[in-house]
Amino acid sequence: MKRPNSKIPELALSLPTMGWLVVLFIIPTIVILLIAFRTGDPYGGIGDQWTVENFSELANPVYRGIMVRTVVLSVLTTAICLVLGVPAGYCLARAEKKKRDFLLLLIIVPFWINFLIRIFAWKVVLHPEGIVKNFLLLIGIVNDQTLLLYRPGTVLLVMVYSYIPFAVLPIYAAAEKFDFSLLDAAHDLGANWYRAFYRVFLPGIRQGILTAILVVFIPALGSYVIPDIVGGPGGEMIGNKIAQKTFIDRHLPHASVLSSLLVLAVMIPMTASLFMKRRKTVGRGIIPG
Amino acid sequence: MRRSRIPFYLLVGMLVFLYLPLIIVIVNSFNMSRYGGQWGGFTLKWYSRLFSDRTIWYALGNSLLIALTSTVTSMVLGTTAAIALYRFKTRLQSAHRLFIHLPLVMPDILVGISLLLFFVALKVRLGLFTIYLAHVTFCISYVAMVVLGRLQDFNYAVIEAAMDLGASWPAAIRKVMIPMITPGIMAGGLLAFTLSIDDFVITFFVSGPGSATLPLYIYSMIRHGSPMVINALTGIFIVFTFTVVTISKKLLEEK
């Protein structure tokens, strides 16, 4: 068969996207790291001198609390999304086709409703004069002074709410390919349902769980709108500080310092996942079939 | 073996969790009293107030303009990228694949701030054009992934057959491959359109005066405006979404 032996077709198909992404994604990401070393100017722009002084900003004790909160909330969000997402994925994969399509649709539809509106819904629900507060007052769990909004717990609740479909979908995709007769085999060999679920099903959908962790944990670290709308000062995360430095303090180099920190935080799980994938492919090469 | 019912109960619980706030907001959008602690009687006044708001239509216009232009651009770029990734297995394509994957995992706020810093450093005026550039940037990857998924089932022998019959390689791609993967390209475009029209964080960072999109407007309403009007807007959004989903499902089933 005759094949074009010049490089031209490949370049013609690759260079437009590569060029676009280099100019508008790769270079801007590097720019974050560069501007962290620039001085600011009085008009909220970028000055023309190099400096390392911006990093002393990080010594501010406020940031340590915010960083810890960012990581803790992201880890908890990921954990809760998995605890709910794994059984959901299992159920979906085992359901008959018609029921499964319907359930999947129910999970995806809220996804299509504007993100801000979904967060706003919680602000209405948890409002001091709202329905949940009134209900909790009625059964005597809270008193008049209790605030449901503007706490770290509220941020966690709404983060789980927003990210849970991201966890369910990859887990379902992995569970759908899982051979459920393996669970019966485990049962025949003496395992009860829980043990079979834990020792056979969970390792079987490992790849889906890893993807779910990645697609929940990384965006969670960068959350900004959720703590901004339902968090209040006690629920701030690193994203809020980046926005505050950008729009309120108008000091872009300081915003860059914080963003560089977030870039590093995001790199850790990303690199770890690449490493795990590579190990998996190596393993696959050893085991025949 | 006796299967545990716990996963099913958890799934049902999760669905209740997903829908309860939305239902409360819809009910509330017909409520006379603010915040809906109690029912103050049925009203449509929040809806009429919403429809008489002119800024919202202006913002919707901006959103549609950006969504349409960035969808078309990212469909072209995403499709060429997917074909390159599918066809060539070179070192260049490994880098290409990495470039396509990275924006998918980058948190929105980092994409937003990086583009803002980039535009400010180059002294580009922020506005609809910078929003368009930003939206294409994050849409390309999604279109490329969807089209690439579709290409997995594509049999390259068809292209070879076309070339044996005298078609040049570009002609074979254009006249044989593209028509066959059109559903994938359309699905990618639909996803890009949804992402673009829904995006708040990235848009917030790269927008300038007068370039408010619908999500930016909703945000300013949440921060400063009347919550009851947003309840009404939520009601419309939810009904609209369900209608679109039902219609598209019907259309797909009839095929």
pLDDT digits (tens, 9 = 90+) for A215-253: 999 999 999 999 999 988 888 999 999 999 899 888 889
d(CA A68, CA A121): 27
Picking from B62, B81, B57, B53, the residue whose alpha carbon sits closest to that of residue B196 is B62
Q: Are residues B28 and B76 located together in one domain of the fold?
A: no
Q: Are residues B26 and B98 located together in one domain of the fold?
A: no
Contacting residues of B for A130, CB less than 8 Å apart: 35-37
Kindly state whether B246 is in contact with chain A, defined as any CB-CB distance less than 8 angstroms.
Answer: no
Q: Are residues B11 and B129 located together in one domain of the fold?
A: no
The confidence score (pLDDT) of residue B114 equals 95
Q: Are residues B111 and B183 located together in one domain of the fold?
A: yes
ipTM: 0.86
pLDDT digits (tens, 9 = 90+) for B74-83: 999 999 999 9
Mean pLDDT for the stretch of residues A120-132: 81
Q: Which of B108, B113, B142 to mutate to test the interface with A (most CBs of A within 10 A)?
A: B113
Kindly state whether B108 is in contact with chain A, defined as any CB-CB distance less than 8 angstroms.
Answer: yes
Q: Are residues B101 and B145 located together in one domain of the fold?
A: yes
Size of interface A-B (CB pairs under 8 A): 261
Looking only at Cα atoms, what is the longest distance across chain A?
Answer: 80
* B87, B108, B242: residue with CB nearest A222: B108
Q: Are residues B83 and B16 located together in one domain of the fold?
A: no
The confidence score (pLDDT) of residue A2 equals 46
Phi, then psi, of A39 in degrees rounded to 5:
-80, 160
Q: Which of A11, A26, A120 to mutate to test the interface with B (most CBs of B within 10 A)?
A: A120
d(CA B133, CA B138): 9
CA dihedral A28, A29, A32, A33 (to 10 degrees): -130
Number of domains in chain B: 2
Give the B window 31-90 contacts with A, CB below 8 Å.
34-38, 77-78, 80-81, 83-84, 87-88, 90
Q: Are residues B69 and B97 located together in one domain of the fold?
A: yes
Q: Are residues B84 and B161 located together in one domain of the fold?
A: yes
CATH code, residues A34-281: 1.10.3720.10
Q: Which domain holds residue B32?
A: 6-46
Mean pLDDT for the stretch of residues B93-103: 91
Kindly state whether B19 is in contact with chain A, defined as any CB-CB distance less than 8 angstroms.
Answer: yes
Phi-psi region of A232 (alpha: psi -120 to 50; beta: other; left: phi over 0): left
CATH code where residue B141 lies: 1.10.3720.10
d(CA A255, CA A242): 5
pLDDT, mean over chain B: 87
Q: Which residue in B has a C-alpha nearest to residue A88's C-alpha?
A: B11
Q: How far is A146 from chain B (nearest CA, A)?
A: 15
* A24, A109, A168: residue with CB nearest B133: A24
Provide the 10 A C-beta neighbour count for residue A234.
14
Helix (H) or strand (E) holding B147: helix B128-151
Whether residues A17 and B77 touch (CB distance < 8 A) is answered with yes
Provide the 10 A C-beta neighbour count for residue A194.
10
Kindly state whether B239 is in contact with chain A, defined as any CB-CB distance less than 8 angstroms.
Answer: no
The confidence score (pLDDT) of residue B79 equals 94
Whether residues B81 and A117 touch (CB distance < 8 A) is answered with no
d(CA A104, CA A95): 11
Q: Identify residue B95 by its one-letter amino acid code.
A: A
Q: Which residue in B has a C-alpha nearest to residue A184's C-alpha?
A: B1
Mean pLDDT for the stretch of residues A187-202: 86
Helix, strand, coil percentages for chain A (3-state, nearest 5): 75, 5, 20
Provide the 10 A C-beta neighbour count for residue B161.
14
Contacting residues of B for A88, CB less than 8 Å apart: 7, 10-11, 14
pLDDT digits (tens, 9 = 90+) for A133-192: 777 777 877 777 777 788 888 999 999 999 998 899 999 999 988 888 888 888 888 888
Whether residues B4 and A161 touch (CB distance < 8 A) is answered with no
Percent of chain A with pLDDT over 90: 34
Decide if pLDDT at B104 tops 70: yes
| Structural domain includes residue B71 | yes
Whether residues B170 and A9 touch (CB distance < 8 A) is answered with yes
Q: For residue B42, what are the β-bridge partners?
A: B31
d(CA A41, CA A189): 71
Whether residues A224 and B93 touch (CB distance < 8 A) is answered with no
| Structural domain includes residue B233 | no
Distances (CA, A) of B127 to B103, B131, B215: 22, 6, 15
Decide if pLDDT at B150 tops 70: yes
Q: Identify residue B160 by its one-letter amino acid code.
A: E
| Structural domain includes residue B230 | no
Q: Are residues B125 and B210 located together in one domain of the fold?
A: yes
Rounded to the nearest 10 degrees, the angle between the axes of helix A252-286 and helix A206-221 is 170
Q: Are residues B10 and B80 located together in one domain of the fold?
A: no
pLDDT band at B251 (very low <50, low <70, confident <90, very high): low
d(CA A94, CA A110): 23
Percent of chain B with pLDDT over 70: 95
Contacting residues of B for A170, CB less than 8 Å apart: none
| Structural domain includes residue B241 | no
pLDDT digits (tens, 9 = 90+) for A35-54: 888 887 777 777 778 888 78
Percent of chain A with pLDDT over 70: 94
d(CA B51, CA B70): 27
The confidence score (pLDDT) of residue A27 equals 95
Which tokens in the block code for residue A249? 């303090």
| Structural domain includes residue B31 | yes
Q: Are residues B28 and B108 located together in one domain of the fold?
A: no
All residues at 6 or more sequence positions from A220 whose CB lies less than 8 Å from its CB, including other chains? A73, A74, A77, A78, A159, A163
Q: Are residues B71 and B154 located together in one domain of the fold?
A: yes
